[in-house]
Amino acid sequence: MIGRFLEDFAVGQTFRSGRVRIDKERIKTFGAEFDPQPFHLDEEAARDTIFGGLAASGWHTAAITMRLLVESDLKPAGGIVGAGADEFRWPRPVRPGDELRTESEVLAVRPSRSRPDQGLIKVRTTTLNQHDEAVQIIIANLVVRRRPTQRGEEKNITELADRA
C-alpha cells in the first residue's frame, strides 16, 4: 500500500471523499450492537428524546467517516494510522436518508523527532451531510511514512510498518 509520503503533504492541502447514504436499518443495527440507546434503536421512542427522532450514534458516524477517509484521495503511505485526536465533535445528528461526505484539510506537517522514517500530519476532517452541514469534526494526528532515500531504507521502513 503506497500512497503519499510525509514530504507530499503541505499545510492547506485539502482532500475529499465520495458520498454514502445513511440507512435507517443500519442506524438501528449499529446502535443495537454498540450504543443501545432509544434514540438509536426505535423511531417512536426517539421522538421523546433530545434528538426528536431517530439519530445515528456518534460512533457510527465516526466509523462511516473512517470508511470515507480510507476511500478518499488523502491516501497517506502506510495507511491511515491515528496517533490521537485533539478535537472530536458532533455538532448535529445524522438522520436516516442523510448523505455524508468528508473534507479534510492538512493543518500541520512535521517529521518525527524520535523516528526518522516517519512523521505526523495534523488533519481536520469535517463530515458533512447533503446540506453541507457539519455532522462531525475531528482534528487528528496521523502517522505517515517518510519517503525512503535509498533501496535498503525502503526495506527497513516496510519491516517497521509490519511490526507496528
Q: pLDDT digit string (tens) for 147-163?
A: 998 655 555 555 555 55
Q: Pick from 104, 80, 82, 106: which is nearest to 1 by CA?
A: 80
For residue 88, being part of any structural domain is answered with yes
Q: How far apart are CA 35 and CA 138, in angstroms?
A: 20
**Domain CATH code at residue 82:** 3.10.129.10
For residue 119, being part of any structural domain is answered with yes
Contact 18, 64 (CB under 8 A): no
Q: How far apart are CA 164 and CA 47, in angstroms?
A: 45
SS3 category, 158? helix
C-alpha cell at 163: 511490526
For residue 1, being part of any structural domain is answered with no
Q: Which residues, at least 6 apart from 8, have a Cβ–Cβ distance to it below 8 Å?
A: 147
Residue 7 is classified by DSSP as: G
Task: Give tens-digit pLDDT for 105-150.
Answer: 999 999 999 999 999 999 999 999 999 999 999 999 999 999 998 6
Q: Which domain holds residue 79?
A: 6-163
Total number of domains in the chain: 1
Q: How far apart are CA 40 and CA 131, in angstroms?
A: 22
Contact 159, 93 (CB under 8 A): no
For residue 48, being part of any structural domain is answered with yes
* Average pLDDT value over all residues in the chain: 93
Task: Give tens-digit pLDDT for 18-52.
Answer: 999 999 999 999 999 999 999 999 999 999 999 99
Burial of 163 (0-12, 13-18, 19+ CB in 10 A): exposed
pLDDT at 159: 54
Length of the chain: 164
Query: At residue 90, does pLDDT exceed 60?
Result: yes
For residue 14, being part of any structural domain is answered with yes
